[in-house]
Structure 1
Amino acid sequence: MPTPKRLLAFVTVCALTLASVPRATASAYDAHPKLVVVIVLDQFRADYLERYRADFKGRGFKLFLDHGANFLDCYYDYANTETAPGHSTIGTGAYTDGHGIGGNEWWDLARSKDHPVTSVEDERYALVGLPSGANASPGSSPRNLRASTFGDELRLDTVGESAVYGVSLKDRASILPAGSAANGAFWIDQASGRFITSTYYMQQLPDWAQAFDDSGRIDQAKQEANAPNSTNFYGDVGATPAAVSYEIDFAKALITGAELGKHDTTDVLMLSISSTDILGHRVGPDSPQQRAMVDAVDTDLDGFFTWLDKNVEGGLGNVWIALTADHGIAPVPADAAKLGLNAATIDMQKLTANLNDAINLKFSPGEKVQYLLTHQSLPYLALNPPAFDRAGINEQEAEQAVQNALPVAFTDLDKPAELKTPATAKLPPQPAMFRSYTRLQMAGGELPNTPFGQLIAHSYTPNGGWYVMVIPDAFQMAAYAAGGTNHFTPYSYDRHVPLDFYGAPFAPGIYHGRVEPTDLAATFASLLGINQPSASIGHILTQALKPAAAVTYPKPVPVRAPHAARKAHAGASKPGENEQ
């Protein structure tokens, strides 16, 4: 039996030996990584990365293509491919039936009877940082987001020690992926270009944000965009590469001002680049202008990653970066039609008028009751419940009547001229409806037990009142602008997006096989050692993870106190209190 002295010596040697063994894993609690950056490219199909690969230089996109985990087959598994739902899915790891965000805007007659409300509109809060004399429209918040994000879970698990921020030109794209517990979200005032926020987060802009807005960087962006006198920054500058570098410069200011990457736990930045969407709607995915935009993003990402390497402790070795998109995009209908596809443009005003006429004929002959609300956009057609109520029609009857009227309403949109002689050329494209589903059918799960049925099930939202979801034929859409294009469908061109990772845990390589954007939140939650978001259905991408023992960081993992011993006051942190 060893003597007490020998036993003490043995224990001491064991303790020293264990202390010298490098940790095989790291987590948010150890501040490894120091910073997680999720880059969302608004309206960016995954095929761009291969299509334009020869253009890329430095370590912008090539950071992922040559040194990261590159998933070629990432598709959204829902049918309402718009900006607000997509950004919500990226943060929450859930689809619309989990996080509740069905579109960029919808009708809520309890809040407004003259316009649809946006996905983040919130009249309870005011905008912060507007230029003097600007129109103070309602503020914004994540009030409609019905699930937590992985950033929320990080804030919860670290008792508020981790910082989480969102940045975009668009309010919805900065707010929704960051989540309800985020320290802040920043977007631009569309007229002036100044970065603003709302009182949901803080009562005034942090000094660093105010300094950025006052620095002359806005005028520089206008000059670079050849729009020096613009009073519509979003439209005139936002559609140019100048807005990409402008937005990234603000992200740098945020990282520095809020001291991201310098806390005892991991911090998160959700950065959504809007310019690819603003331009893409106008010119389409196949235009030289959009290719030039993709190349400009590549250059700006190269510069941003170089900056991170120099400004985060330990460099890029202490940073995880993910790249994805909120949705893809359809080709311009005229371009697709030239190749023989039935790529028609849908006149929404005429479709709405056709449906109103049909419903009047059924329920109120000779009258002109507005049974459908104004400002309609696909995929959800919004019904006017008070009009049906006055006619004694309940929701089921109303939605069924609209659904039954849809095929003829589509047929009447653009009837081809009667042919007197055999056609010598292809007939012009004709609008056609593929499927439709009522809100009650979606809510009750009365959908096909097929992969397509699952796309529709994942698109259910309790928001928007009474509605019918309409799926036109592939390559068809409501008109966006002359020569432009749109997105909102279950078709692969709208659902196919990049999913790429760079950082210590990820094994570089090309990965084939279907994955989904929901997998991003699940994978990061697992690696950070935190709970998955509340409605997450994503899978952990284990195929792209190195063995834990092979994961190393530039500096040793610090020894930390147990979770319960952390700063007690951090638990009292609320959005807006940490305004670093």
Structure 2
Amino acid sequence: MRKCFASFLLLAVSLCVALPARADAYHAKPKLVVVLVIDQFRGDYLDRYRDDFKTKNGFNLFLKQGAYFTDCYYDYANTITAPGHATIGTGAYTNGHGIVQNEWWDLKRSTTHPVSSVEDERYAVVGDPASKETGASPRNEQASTLGDEVVLATQGRGKLFGVSLKDRAAILTSGHASKGAFWVDHASGKFVTSTYWSKQLPAWAQAFNDSGRRDQAVREAGAKPGHFYEEVGAHPASVSYLLDFAKSLIAGEQLGRHDVTDVLTISISSTDILGHRVGPDAPEQRAMIDAIDVDLDGFFTWLDKNVDGGMGNVWVALTGDHGVAPVSAVAEKLGIPAAMFDAKKLAAEVNDRLNQRFSPGKGSKYLLGLTMPYVQLDPRTFEQAKVTEAEAEQAVAEILPAALEATLPPEEKGISQVRLPSRPLIRRVYTRVQMEAGQIPATEEGRLILHSYSTNLGWFVMASPGMYEMSQRTGTSHYSPYSYDRHVPLAFYGSAFVPGTYHDRVAPVDIAATFASLLRINQPSASVGQVLTMAMRPEMSESVARKAVD
């Protein structure tokens, strides 16, 4: 009888430990939520390089102590940095948040250059008087973020910040109501913000810029002054530089020490800056990932000592903003039909054919830009030729496949004794008019295309290339509807989650939905994510927990 009672008591106590008390943002349970994004971090990396990770609180914080999802895929086709970060923050796709590319032509704002996803000429850059960059804001993000909803729920008491080397990554993940978004000036490497948030840097941020930490990063990377983003950004030194700034922010703003939940978004850009040059299979990229593991271990170990209650009062989500294709030459050597084409030549060929069709002999400019997967049309030129939007987009859709073929070397004739090089192709083209009306084939790709729709581009078509195709001559990229560009890791750490490996098919939009549910706040305004209950601990109220122990 005594053994049974003892066993029952032991079970009750273990349940109290296993089942967390009720969480919510209103009582700082947890104290801090961190959304950690690693740019161009494909979903297979954590397992591919798992044997390299020797630290306790680096990637093993998620692999061994967290809830790790192996099969997380974006459910849209424009797999690019700006839409990826907006998707993570808002829990919506492009058709919900409006961010379609890193930059695009907006003729209402500029007829001389494309505007970036966060560019805002109404504001000025703060933090580097010598900066030549334009001010920024989340003006184009047409949905609220998880952090925005925490601020709303706590009536402004919860603090929200975003940091990254990239402005779009810092801004779009954190949102509209942040106390500050910080990124680096491309030339100097100083952390800057915009007058959208404040007239001057906070004292702690200015102190960081004045500390000599930037000079240390430049030396570690062996970089030339004035080329911080391109040279230091592609070196592991940029990762520790970013995380040291995040530490200064946490200490300066006392994040994790308030009576409501605070939110911090961090995006590590270094894997993307380097990855475009060397590809996912290069030893340099592996070394970068290994360095991130060590730096994350230092960061989370520091966080444990600088948040009330330590890491037991912190929740973290880890994901990527998109995947990446292998370098075409590497893939082709392994037998994959990979190919490259010249986007500039393709744009010129399409424009020539449009002139032949609508304005023979005039040499009119019908395209604003061709940045895969989108081709933006200039409505002014088509309207002068008395061509409607539907007619213009349909004409480009018809022309694109043959125009691409015309830019390629002639195909070899006869029977070959060796494997021939792959030839790029355009598989399908979708017009904006079709997307707006929902007149897209009811296929898997069709759903991805509809999720990639935005009103921001004006007249456009969206092209679906062949698999493993690149619209550039060197390195690699990402922009396709294929799984290698959509696959990213997803993992959670914190008292609310059951550690383990999960093979459920999930998506990055689920981060905002899951955190919002646990924090007892509204999901972001356009959220479409699912609450990942399979990885959530069942809750026990504090009163029940006390009774079980008593």
TM category (shorter chain) comes to over 0.9
3-state SS in 2 of match to 1:320: strand
CA drift of 1:69 comes to 0.2
Mapped to 2, the partners of 1:501 and 1:453 lie a distance apart of 30
Number of equivalenced pairs: 524
Aligned to 1:188: 184
Mapped to 2, the partners of 1:45 and 1:39 lie a distance apart of 14
Aligned to 1:381: 375
Q: 2:30 pairs with 16, 30, 33, which one?
A: 33
Mapped to 2, the partners of 1:392 and 1:535 lie a distance apart of 37
Read off the aligned partner of 2:431 and give its amino acid letter.
T
Whether 1:274 aligns to 2:274 is no
Aligned to 2:260: 265
Residues 35 and 264 of structure 2 are in contact (CA less than 8 Å); yes or no, is this contact kept in structure 1? yes
CA drift of 1:201 comes to 0.5
Aligned to 2:441: 448
Q: Residues 212 and 143 from structure 1, CA distance in 2 versus in 1: closer, same or farther, beyond 3 angstroms? A: same
Whether 1:438 aligns to 2:436 is no
Q: 1:322 pairs with 300, 306, 317, which one?
A: 317
Aligned to 1:293: 288
Aligned to 2:130: 133
CA drift of 1:458 comes to 0.2
Q: 1:391 pairs with 376, 385, 389, which one?
A: 385
Aligned to 2:11: none
Mapped to 2, the partners of 1:443 and 1:370 lie a distance apart of 25
Residues 504 and 551 of structure 1 are in contact (CA less than 8 Å); yes or no, is this contact kept in structure 2? no
Residues 75 and 516 of structure 1 are in contact (CA less than 8 Å); yes or no, is this contact kept in structure 2? yes
Residues 20 and 496 of structure 2 are in contact (CA less than 8 Å); yes or no, is this contact kept in structure 1? no
Q: 2:43 pairs with 43, 46, 60, which one?
A: 46
Mapped to 2, the partners of 1:114 and 1:27 lie a distance apart of 48
CA drift of 1:551 comes to 9.5
Aligned to 1:556: none
Q: 1:236 pairs with 214, 231, 235, which one?
A: 231
State how 1:17-28 maps to structure 2 within 5 Å: 24-28=21-25
TM-score by length of 1: 0.89
Mapped to 2, the partners of 1:305 and 1:291 lie a distance apart of 21
Read off the aligned partner of 2:148 and give its amino acid letter.
D
Aligned to 1:348: 343
Coordinate RMSD, CA, aligned: 1.4
Aligned to 1:224: 220
Aligned to 2:196: 200
Residues 45 and 498 of structure 1 are in contact (CA less than 8 Å); yes or no, is this contact kept in structure 2? yes
Mapped to 1, the partners of 2:456 and 2:542 lie a distance apart of 44
Residues 230 and 236 of structure 1 are in contact (CA less than 8 Å); yes or no, is this contact kept in structure 2? no
Read off the aligned partner of 1:107 and give its amino acid letter.
W
Q: Deviations over 1:361-419 (max 9, x none)?
A: 11112221111124x21111011111101101110110011111112112112133433
Read off the aligned partner of 2:507 and give its amino acid letter.
E
Q: 2:78 pairs with 77, 80, 83, which one?
A: 80
Mapped to 1, the partners of 2:259 and 2:368 lie a distance apart of 52
Residues 279 and 327 of structure 2 are in contact (CA less than 8 Å); yes or no, is this contact kept in structure 1? yes
Read off the aligned partner of 2:171 and give its amino acid letter.
I
Mapped to 1, the partners of 2:340 and 2:115 lie a distance apart of 26
Aligned to 2:155: 159
Read off the aligned partner of 1:422 and give its amino acid letter.
I
Mapped to 2, the partners of 1:506 and 1:549 lie a distance apart of 14
Aligned to 2:487: 496
Mapped to 1, the partners of 2:459 and 2:332 lie a distance apart of 34
Aligned to 1:410: 404
3-state SS in 2 of match to 1:247: helix
CA drift of 1:428 comes to 1.4
Residues 39 and 270 of structure 1 are in contact (CA less than 8 Å); yes or no, is this contact kept in structure 2? yes
Residues 125 and 131 of structure 2 are in contact (CA less than 8 Å); yes or no, is this contact kept in structure 1? no
Mapped to 2, the partners of 1:216 and 1:284 lie a distance apart of 32
Q: Stretches of 4+ moved more than 6 A in 1? A: none
Mapped to 2, the partners of 1:217 and 1:262 lie a distance apart of 26
Aligned to 2:15: none
3-state SS in 1 of match to 2:433: helix
State how 1:528-539 maps to structure 2 within 5 Å: 528-539=519-530
3-state SS in 2 of match to 1:471: strand
Mapped to 1, the partners of 2:412 and 2:43 lie a distance apart of 42
Mapped to 1, the partners of 2:534 and 2:203 lie a distance apart of 44
Mapped to 1, the partners of 2:126 and 2:538 lie a distance apart of 46
CA drift of 1:138 comes to 2.1
Mapped to 1, the partners of 2:396 and 2:444 lie a distance apart of 25
Structure 1 segments unaligned to the other structure (5+ residues):
1-21, 553-580
Mapped to 2, the partners of 1:49 and 1:418 lie a distance apart of 42
Mapped to 1, the partners of 2:401 and 2:282 lie a distance apart of 33
Mapped to 2, the partners of 1:232 and 1:112 lie a distance apart of 27
TM-score by length of 2: 0.94
Mapped to 2, the partners of 1:70 and 1:275 lie a distance apart of 23
CA drift of 1:550 comes to 8.8
Q: Residues 300 and 232 from structure 1, CA distance in 2 versus in 1: closer, same or farther, beyond 3 angstroms? A: same
